[in-house]
Amino acid sequence: MEMPRNERSPENPQILVVGQDGMALGGGGDEDSREIPVTEQVEQPAKVMRIGSMIKQLLEEVRAAPLDEASRVRLKEIHSSSVAELEDGLAPELVEELERLSLPFTDDAIPSDAELRIAQAQLVGWLEGLFHGIQTTLFAQQMAARAQLESMRRALPPGASHEGDETGMGGRVGGPYL
């Protein structure tokens, strides 16, 4: 079942902020908008992870050696296609954020080494922030599940068996006496 997405207009952009509980928080005070976990905003996580790894590796290569004109043109094409592929795997809110933050290259000019490095580093940084948000969300969900399990265990009546308890001889639950 598809969750409704928050619609944002280009005139009223919104920065996505992730709260301590891993939920996306709106910055504009929309009381009726739904909070969507970051984990649900990445619609194709495997694809995003593969592209992110490729972009990070490209950044390391770009830093390591000077680029000639042909390699700068090719890297510009790779950068543009990578951003387009990333947008395929993200929810509209994250696509809008990525588009606002990405450095656009003009069609006629060949970017310099420095421009390419900055664009790649910016994209790597944005992706690392996204991955940290996902990890934080998963950790918060795990902690919430653990707390819920503990509260359920405490709510059990005295003498009720827990999953981890070992049974004594004859299938009886062990107690304070042998």
The answer to whether 58 and 177 have CB atoms below 8 angstroms apart is no
Helices 45-64, 69-88: crossing angle, 10 deg rounding: 160
- The answer to whether residue 159 is domain-embedded is no
Q: Which domain holds residue 56?
A: 17-148
- The count of structural domains within the chain is 1
Mean pLDDT by 10 residues, the chain (178 residues): 44 53 52 63 84 88 87 90 89 89 81 88 90 88 91 83 53 62
* Beta partners for residue 24, in sequence order: 18
Give the pLDDT score at 146: 92
Overall pTM surpassing 0.75 (yes/no): no
- Sole residue written with tokens 């390419």: 116
The answer to whether 130 and 18 have CB atoms below 8 angstroms apart is no
The Cα–Cα gap between 138 and 141 comes to: 5
- The answer to whether residue 171 is domain-embedded is no
Give the pLDDT score at 9: 46
